Structure 1
Amino acid sequence: MQMLHKLGRMPIALTAPALIMFLAVVGLPTCLLFLSSLNSPHFSVVNYQAFFSQYANIRVLYQTVEISVVVTAICLLVGYPTAYLIAAASKHLRVALIVLVIIPYLTSMLVRTYAWLVILGDGGLINSVLLNIGLISSPLSLVYNRMAVYIGMVHIMLPMMILPLVSVMAGIDRSLVSAAQSMGAPPLRAFWRVFFPLSLSGVRSGSLLVFVICLGFYITPAALGGLGDAMLSTFIASQVRTSFDIASVATSAFVLLAVAFIVLSMLGLNLSGTPGRTVQSRQKVLGKFYPSIARLSGILNEVSTPNRAKHWASQLYRPGRSSAWLKVASFAFITLVMFFLLFPEILILVMSFGGSKFLEFPPSTLSLQWYRNFFSDPTWYGAALNSIEIGIIVAALSTILGTLAAYGLSRTIPQVRSFLTLLLLTPITIPVIVIGVAAYLGLVKLGLIGSKTGIILAHSVGAVGYVVVIVSATLANFDPRLEQAAKSMRASPYRTFMRVTLPLIRPGLIAGGVFAFLHSFDEVVITSLVSGFSVRTLPLKMWEDIRHQIDPTIAAVGSLLILLPILCLIVLYAVWQRSGARSQHLLLKPTI
C-alpha cells in the first residue's frame, strides 16, 4: 500500500516497465547498430562510403523513396476528397463510411496483397474477363511490375490517409466556409482560403504516416513487384537471412532511418501550430524566399481587384448552392473509392467457397473444401493456434504496460511527457524493417531468437505504442476531479483507480487490447526475422505459400481474417455502448 502511495506521488515511475522492455528489445540494440554502422570503436564513415559507392545500393534507395513518394501522393489525391465527402455526410452515413474504411484498414496486409495477386495475375480476374469477352488473345502482364506495386500499396495505405484527414475535417466549423461564401467568395476560393488551411494538420499527419510506413514496406513489393521494383527493406531482410554482416545491415537500416527522420524534421515539426496562421505564414515565407514571385503576385492582385470587387458585390450574401451534377459526381467518386477498398476482400470471401481446384470468380460450384483443408492440415491450424496464443499474450502484456505508461504520462510535466511518449511510439513511427533488425539483435543478446517469448517481446514493443495512444486519448477526456473527490472521501489510490478511473477508461483499455492483438496477429516482417524458422505463425505460413504457390486454402484463411476485424469492431461497439450506460451511474456508487 505504501508503494501505491509513492507511485501516486511519482507517476512517471509507471512508465518504467514499458521503457525497460523497449530499451532491452529495441532501444539499446538500435544504439549498438548505430555504433556498428560507424565502425565502432574506430569510428569512421567507411561503411556509409561503401554503401553509396555501389550503384545498386543507390538505385534501390532511389526506388524506395520514389515508390514511397508516388504512393503518398496518390493516397493524398484520392484520400483528401474522400475524407472531405465523409466529413460532410450526415452523421449516420459518416459513421457507416468510416466503418467501411476501417474494415480494410484492420484486415491483414497479407490477405489484401494476396487478393491483388488473384485479381492481377495471368489467370486472375481481370485477364479471365478480358479473355472471355474476346478483347485480348493472351494474358496481359498486370502483375510483377511497378504498377502492381502502386495498386497494392495504395490499397493498403489509403485508409491510413483517410482516417487522420476525417478526424481533422470533422472538427472544422463549416459555418466558416458558409460565411466566406455569403460574403461573396466563390465556393472554390472559400474552400482554398478557409477550409484547406484548417485541414493542413490532417494532410501533414496522413502524409507523414503513409510515407514513413511505405519506406519500410516489404511484403507487398516483394509479392507484386518484379526484380526491378525491390525496396531497401527487401535488401535488408535478405542480408539478415543470408550473411548478416552486422555493419552492412546497420548501415542500410540507418540510411533508411535517416530518410524517414529527414522527412519528419521537414514536415513533422511545429505540430501544435495554430491553423489560423497557416495562410499568413505561407505568404511570409513566399515573400522572404521568392521576392520576384511575391512582387508578381502583388501586381496581379492589384490588376484583378476591380473585377473581384464587382463579383463580390454581385454574390454578396448569397447562400452556397450545390448543383445536382456535383452531388452525382460526389456519389460516384465515394462509391468507386469504397469499391476499390472493399472489392478485394469481397472477392476473397466469395472465392473461398469455390469447389474447383483453382480459384475462380464467380465460383462454378460451391463447397467448403478449402475450409476443411485448413482445419484438417496441422501446418495450417497449428500456425493459427500459435498466432492466437502469441496474440493473446501480447494483448494482455501490452495492455498492462501501455495502460500504466499512459496513466503515468498523463500526470507528468509536458516536457517529460512529450519525450517519453515519442520514445514509446518510436516502434510504430519508423520503418518496421529497422525495428525488426534491432529486435533481432536485441533478442540474440537475450538468447530468445526462435522462441515464442522472443516473438512476444518483439510484438509487444510495437503493440504498447498502440495502447499508449488509445488509452492516452481516453484519459484526455477523463476528469481528474473524480479521483480527487474519491480521495477526499478517504479512498486509497488503489481503490480509487479500481472503482473510479478503471471503469471510465475501460473502453480505451479494451480497444487498445484489440488493436494490440490485431497488430500481433498480422505481423510478418519482424516475425520472419526473429522466429528463426522454428516458430510458425499464420502470417508466416501464408507468406510462404503466397511466394511458392497460389493455394486456394489461403482464400479460406483470408476470409477468416477478414471476418476477424469485423467481429472486433462489433465487440468494441458493444463495449462502448455498455460503458456509456454504466458511466452515467458511476458516481452514485460508494468509493469507500
Structure 2
Amino acid sequence: MLQKLTRAPFGLTLPSFTLLLMVFGVPITSLLFMSLNAPDWSFVNYQRFLSQSANIYVLLQTIEISIGATAICLVIGYPTAYLIVTAPERQRTVFIVLVLIPWLTSGLVRTYAWTVILGDHGLINNVLVASGLASSPVPLIYNRFAVFVGMVHIMLPMMILPLLSVMYNIDKSLVAAARSMGARPFTAFWRVFLPLSLPGVRSGSLLVFVGCLGFYITPQALGGLRETMLSKLIVNQLLVSANLGATAATAFVLLAVTAVVLSIFGLDLSGSRERVRGAVGTKRRSWLSAQGAMGRWFNELGTSWRASRWQRQLYRAAAQVRWVEFAGAGFMTVVMVYLLVPGLIVIIMSFSAGDFIEFPPSAFSLRWYVAFFEDSTWTTSLSNSVEVAIDVALLATATGTLAAYGLGRMSPQSRSILTMMILMPITFPVVIVGVAAYYGLFHLHLIGTKTGLVLAHSIGANAYVVVIVAATLANFDRRLEQAAMSMRAGPLRTFWRVTLPLIRPGILGGAVFAFIASFDEAVVTSMISGYSIRTLPLRMLENVTQQIDPSIAAVGSLLTLLPVLWLFVLYVLYWRSRGKPQRAHAQAEA
C-alpha cells in the first residue's frame, strides 16, 4: 500500500486536502453561493452592504489602516533587516533570536502590554506627568496612533523575516564590485542591493498587508469606536445577525480586497537570485533604451569625471563610516527596545504586590501567580488550550508531513498549485477562515466542542507543518533512499530507517509551530467555541478589553517566557540534526 502511495504521491496529500475541504474549502464555496442569494442568484446582499455609508467607511478605513501599518513596517523593517544581514555572524544570530522572540509571543500579551504602556496611568504618561512635560495624561490610547503602535509591533517580525531570507542570499561581491568601480555607498546600495532585495519587500509587504486586513483583537483593545475594522463588523454580524448571507457578503468583500492585492503583486512569495537579477537587468536595459541618445550622451560625458573621482577616493579613508555605524547601532537599539520592552514590562508588572496593575510595582510579590493557579477559571482555560493544542499538533503534523512528502515527489507545476491551496488558510485574513470554519462545523454539529476547535485550528497548523517539512525535504538527498532500496529495503523500512531520521528535526519543528499556532489562536476560537469552551486566549481577551483581573499579568509573563523555551527546543533539534546526513551516508555506503 505504501509503495503504491509513493508511486502516486497525490495520495499522500489526501488527508490534508480532506481536512481542508471539510473545514474550509466546501464551506467557503457554500458561503459564496449564499452571498449570491443562491438559487435565485442576485447581488442583493452586496448591494445592501454597499448601500450603507457606514459599511463603506469601515471598508475604506480597514484598507487605510492596513496600508499605513504595512508602510510603517517596511520603513522600519527594511533597514533593520539590512543591518542584521551586514552585522558580524554572532551579532546577526543574536538579532535574529531577538526578532523571533516577540514573533513567537502571544499577540494578546503584546496587545495587553501596550494597553499598560499607553494608558492614561501607563508608563509613558506617568513619566510625562512626573517629569513635568505634561500636566495631565496625554491621550495615547483608544485612537489611531495606538492601533498603529500595536499592529506594527505584532507584524514587524513578519516584515523582517522575509527580507532577511532574501537579503542573506544576495551576493555581497556585487556591491563590492560597484564600490570598486567608483560608486559611492548609497549609489551601490540603490543601484545594486535594493533591486535584488525587492522580492523580500514584496513578500513581507503582502504578508503584513493581508495579516492587517484580518486584525480584530488589537484594534478592538487599543482603538476607539472610530477605528472599527471590517473584521470586527464581520464577527459582530456572525454572532448577532441571523442573516448569514449578509455576513458572507461582508466577508467576501474583504476577501475581494485580498484577491485584488494578490493578483496585482503575484502569489509567488519567493524569487530566485537569477530571476531577480535577470529582471533587474531587463528593467535597466529598458530604462536606458528609453532615454535615447540624450541619455547616452550624458552618460559618456560623465565617464571621465567618474574615473577621476574614483582615482581620488581610491585610497582615502571613509570619514563618514563612524557616524554611520553609530546611527545604525542607535537605530537597532530603538527597534529592539520597541520589540522587546513591552514583554519585559509585563514580566516585571506580574510581580506586583498591589491590588491593581501598576508599573513600576510599589512592592514585589508572587501573589498573582498564586492567584492564577488557584483560580479554577484560569487553570481550566489553560488546560483546554494545552489539550486542544496537543491534539492539533498531532493531527497537523501527521497530515502535513504526509502532504509535504507527497508534494516533494510531484512535478513543479502540480506542486505549486497544490501548495498554494494548502496555504490558503494562512494566506486569507483570519476572520474569513473563521467564518468558513464556523459554517462548515455548524453543519457537522461541532460548534462548541473541542473536536470542532481541533479541526478549525488544524487547517492553519497543517499549512505551517507543510512549509517547514517541505523546506527540510528540499535539502534531503533522495539518493539515500535509492541506495537503501538497492540493498532490498522496502519502502516502509527505507522511510523508517533513512528518511524519517533525517527529516525528524523538520517534523518536530513543524509540530512546535502547530502547537504555537493553536495555543495562541483567539479569533477563530471565539467563533467556534460558542462560549461553551474557554481557552486561555479567550479568557485573556476578556480581561484585555475589561481590565478587571490583574492575574492576566502573570499569564502574560508566562506566555512571554514561553518563546524562550520554543527557541531552546528548536535549537536542540537543530544541533541534534547536525551530523546525521554524514552518518546516513556512511551507513548507506556500508
Q: Please, what TM-score do these two structures have when normalized by structure 2?
A: 0.96
Matching of residues 152-551 of structure 1 within 5 Å: 152-269=150-267, 272=271, 274-282=275-283, 299=294, 302-303=297-298, 305-307=300-302, 309-315=304-310, 318=314, 321=318, 323-551=321-549
Q: How many residues align?
A: 584
C-alpha distance in 1 between matches for 2:588 and 2:480: 12
Matches of 2:588 and 2:281, distance apart in 1? 54
* Structure 1 gap ranges (5+): 289-293
Matched residue type, 1:422: M
Determine helix, strand or coil for the equivalent of 2:171: coil
Q: 6, 9, 13: which one pairs with 2:7?
A: 9
- The one-letter code sitting in structure 1 at the alignment partner of 2:245 is A
Q: Which amino acid aligns with 1:328?
A: F
CA RMSD of aligned residues (A): 1.9
Q: Deviations over 1:383-430 (max 9, x none)?
A: 001000100110111001000000000001112111111110000011
Q: Is the 8 A contact 1:79 1:158 kept in 2?
A: yes
Q: CA deviation at 1:283?
A: 5.2
C-alpha distance in structure 2 between counterparts of 1:507 and 1:411, whole Å: 20
Inter-partner Cα distance in structure 2 for 1:559 and 1:164: 28
Deviations 1:155-213 (A, max 9, x none): 00000000110111111111110100101111111111111111011001000000000
CA distance in 1, matches of 2:285, 2:445: 56
Alpha-carbon distance change, 457 to 287 in structure 1, aligned in 2, over 3 angstroms: farther
Contact 2:288 2:295 in 1 (8 A): no
- Report the CA distance shift for 1:304/1:480 in structure 2 as closer, same or farther (over 3 A): closer
Post-superposition offset of 1:42 = 1.4
Give, as a single letter, the amino acid of the residue that structure 2 aligns with 1:276.
Answer: R
Q: Quick one: structure 1 residues 497 and 57, their matched pair in 2 at CA, closer, same or farther if it must change by over 3 Å? A: same
State the match for 1:291 in structure 2: none
Q: Quote the offset at 1:243 in angstroms.
A: 1.1
Contact (CA 8 Å) 2:349, 2:361: kept in 1 or not?
yes
Look up the equivalent residue of 1:413 and give its one-letter code.
S
Q: Name structure 2 gaps, 5 residues minimum.
A: none
Question: Once the two structures are superposed, what CA deviation does each residue of 1:24-59 show, in whole Å capped at 9, x if it has no partner?
Answer: 001000000111111111112222122111111110
Give the Cα separation in 1 of the matches to 2:585 and 2:9.
Answer: 24
* Conserved? CA contact 2:170–2:196, under 8 Å: yes
CA distance in 1, matches of 2:532, 2:548: 24
Aligned-residue offset at 1:442: 0.3
Determine if the alignment matches structure 1 residue 34 to structure 2 residue 32: yes
Distance 1:234 1:286 in 2: 45
TM-aligned CA distance change 1:483 to 1:303, over 3 Å: same
Secondary structure of the residue aligned to 1:185 is coil
Structure 1 Cα separation of the partners of residues 281 and 169 of structure 2: 21
Q: Is the 8 A contact 2:34 2:248 kept in 1?
A: yes
Indicate how the Cα distance of structure 1 residues 366 and 423 shifts in structure 2: closer, same or farther if over 3 A, else same: same
SS in 2 for 1:585: helix
1:111 shift after superposition: 0.2
- 552-561 or 37-46, which deviates more: 37-46
CA distance in 1 between counterparts of 2:254 and 2:139 reads: 31
- Equivalent position of 2:564 in the other structure: 566
SS in 2 for 1:199: helix
Residue 300 of structure 1, CA deviation: 6.4
Does the CA-based 8 Å contact 1:198-1:276 persist in structure 2?
Answer: yes
Please tell me the residue identity of whatever aligns with 1:410. G
How far apart are the structure 1 equivalents of 2:195 and 2:530?
49
CA distance in 2, matches of 1:397, 1:191: 46
Q: How far did 1:584 drift?
A: 2.8
Q: 1:282: how far off?
A: 3.9
Could you tell me how far apart the structure 2 residues matched to 1:221 and 1:287 are? 46
Task: Normalising by structure 1, report the TM-score.
Answer: 0.95
Q: Which amino acid aligns with 1:568?
A: W
Letter in 2 for 1:275: V
* Distance across 1 between alignment mates of 2:586 and 2:465: 29
1:503–1:583: 8 Å Cα contact kept in structure 2? Answer: no
The residue that corresponds to 1:53 in the other structure is 51
How far residue 590 of structure 1 moved from its aligned partner, in angstroms, is: 7.1
Whether the aligned pair in 2 keeps the contact of 1:181 and 1:318 (CA below 8 Å) is: no
CA distance in 2, matches of 1:436, 1:196: 38
Aligned to 1:398, the other structure's residue is in SS state helix
| Counterpart AA for 2:90 | H
Match of 1:95 among 86, 93, 96: 93
Counterpart-to-counterpart distance in 2, 1:549 and 1:438:
31
* Alignment partner, residue 151 of structure 1: 149
Alpha-carbon distance between aligned partners in 2 of 1:497 and 1:35, rounded to the nearest angstrom = 44
Cα distance, 1:585 vs structure 2: 1.9
Counterparts of 1:558 and 1:76, CA distance in 2: 28
Alpha-carbon distance between aligned partners in 2 of 1:346 and 1:461, rounded to the nearest angstrom: 33
> Partner residue of 1:112?
110
Matched, 1:130 2:120: no
Shift of 1:144: 0.3
Give, as a single letter, the amino acid of the residue that structure 1 aligns with 2:306. H
C-alpha contact (below 8 Å) 2:82/2:167 kept by paired residues: yes
